[in-house]
A = this chain, B = another copy of it.
Amino acid sequence: MKSFEPLTDSVFYIMASLTEPRHGYAVMSLVEETTGGSFVIGPASLYTIIKKLLKEQLIVLHDESDSRRKVYMLTDVGRQTLEADIARRKVMIEMAEKGLERREVCDEEH
């Protein structure tokens, strides 16, 4: 079971948006909305990454009935990959927070 980890931020955001069926443009809007505009994925990045995720079979084309919209969704492997990366990211945050806490104590002592 080959792993595509670690996921980059852009890839993570897109995959996190595709836990349920969504078309590309909706992913773009969702990321901008949920991050309050602090992370923006433009069309160039979006469709580049979607193409790559399709090739790696982390997402699939879910529905193409609409003449314009292409709806994608995570595959099982995609979901597992996302879950694994969530775990990695939690460790990351823990690591950073531990360091910052220790530093706060030092500041007070000074």
Interface residues, chain A, CB within 8 Å of chain B? 5-6, 8-9, 12-13, 15-17, 19-20, 34-35, 38-39, 79, 82-83, 86, 88-93, 95-97, 99-100, 102-103
Apart from A6-B9, A9-B9, A82-B96, 4 more pairs, CB < 8 Å: A5-B38, A15-B96, A16-B99, A20-B102
Q: How many copies does the complex hold?
A: 2
Interface centre among A38, A39, A92, A100 (most CB of B within 10 A): A92
Contact B92 A20 (CB under 8 A): no
CA distance A56 to B83 in the complex (A): 33
Query: Knowing A8-B9, A38-B6, A95-B34 touch, does A100 contact B88 (C-beta < 8 A)?
Result: no
Residues of B with C-beta under 8 A to A82: 96, 100
Residues of B with C-beta under 8 A to A91: 34-35
A5 to chain B, nearest CB (A): 7
Contact B6 A92 (CB under 8 A): no
Contact B88 A35 (CB under 8 A): yes
